[in-house]
């Protein structure tokens, strides 16, 4: 936050300032400090844009995202964007904001003007998914329960995951080649994890990227932890 304030303070007063952050960062599973970021943006007259690709349908008691997670009003973010391809199982994406902003983007955004519209079935699938989030909050509760359970089991197994409090669990391997070998071990045993090497992440922090969802059963998560433990032991 000190670095962000230094950047905002040093920007020309006549320039338009825009701060862009993720709600949840996809490699470490960490959550942005929205309260302080929003406060600094308001203090220095900057716009705030938040990408909720990994937080919509995930964060907050009912899955409404980063604002609900922190108990903040919707106007703490000027430009909100997200994807329709993660918690919302369709394709495409969206930008949400004031009526004035959306009118401006619909006339000035090349990505919007020159892209094809969503096919009707994809739009219908996205709408149905949003309806499920609204009507069945127990799905989000199950997700949060699975996150807590998986984190506890990884801790018992001495597997480092950077204390992620989101469905994204970075199982730290260190060496790039070790990450590939561990991923291969898991794949052969029916557990899908992604090996994430340098330069996607800093050198020496290669990891397996595991993701929990609401439909996982406790025995699924137990099996996953056991396979990860086997991989860690065999791929030294």
Position 61 scores a pLDDT of 94
Last-in-domain residue among 106, 135, 164: 135
Could you give the number of structural domains in the chain? 2
Last-in-domain residue among 135, 165, 194: 135
- Residue 149 CB contacts under 8 Å (≥ 6 apart), including other chains: 218, 221
Q: Do 129 and 161 fall within a single domain?
A: no
Last-in-domain residue among 135, 158, 183: 135
Q: Do 18 and 115 fall within a single domain?
A: yes
Position 236 scores a pLDDT of 82
Position 134 scores a pLDDT of 94
Q: Do 41 and 100 fall within a single domain?
A: yes
Residue-range definition of the domain harbouring residue 6: 2-135
Q: Do 120 and 10 fall within a single domain?
A: yes
Q: Do 142 and 130 fall within a single domain?
A: no
Burial label, 140 (beta-carbon count in 10 A; 0-12, 13-18, 19+): buried
Position 150 scores a pLDDT of 98
Q: Do 154 and 95 fall within a single domain?
A: no
The CATH number for 34's domain is: 3.40.640.10
Q: Do 164 and 229 fall within a single domain?
A: yes
Q: Do 90 and 112 fall within a single domain?
A: yes
Phi-psi region of 102 (alpha: psi -120 to 50; beta: other; left: phi over 0): alpha
**In order along the chain (236 residues), what is the average pLDDT of each group of 10 residues?**
95 89 95 97 96 96 96 94 94 93 94 90 96 95 97 96 95 96 97 96 96 96 98 92
Q: Do 162 and 187 fall within a single domain?
A: yes
Q: Do 29 and 124 fall within a single domain?
A: yes
Q: Do 84 and 64 fall within a single domain?
A: yes
């Amino acid at each position: 936050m000190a670095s962000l304030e230094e950047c905002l303070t040093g920007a020309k007063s006549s320039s338009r300032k825009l701060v862009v952050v993720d709600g949840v960062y996809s490699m470490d599973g960490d959550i942005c400090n929205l309260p302080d970021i929003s406060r600094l943006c308001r203090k220095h007259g900057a716009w705030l844009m938040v990408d909720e690709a990994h937080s919509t349908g995930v964060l907050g008691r009912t899955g409404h995202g980063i604002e609900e997670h922190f108990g903040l009003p919707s106007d703490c973010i000027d430009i909100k964007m997200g994807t329709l391809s993660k918690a919302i199982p369709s394709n495409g994406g969206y930008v949400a904001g004031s009526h004035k902003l959306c009118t401006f983007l619909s006339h000035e955004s090349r990505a919007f003007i020159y892209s094809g519209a969503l096919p009707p079935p994809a739009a219908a699938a996205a709408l149905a998914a949003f309806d499920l989030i609204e009507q069945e909050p127990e799905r989000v509760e199950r997700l949060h329960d699975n996150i807590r359970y998986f984190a506890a089991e990884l801790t018992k197994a001495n597997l480092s995951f950077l204390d992620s409090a989101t469905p994204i669990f970075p199982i730290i391997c260190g060496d790039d080649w070790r990450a590939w070998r561990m991923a291969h071990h898991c794949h052969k045993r029916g557990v899908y994890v992604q090996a994430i090497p340098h330069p996607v992440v800093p050198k020496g922090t290669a990891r397996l990227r595991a993701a929990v969802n609401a439909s996982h059963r406790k025995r699924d998560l137990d099996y996953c932890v056991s396979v990860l433990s086997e991989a860690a032991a065999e791929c030294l």
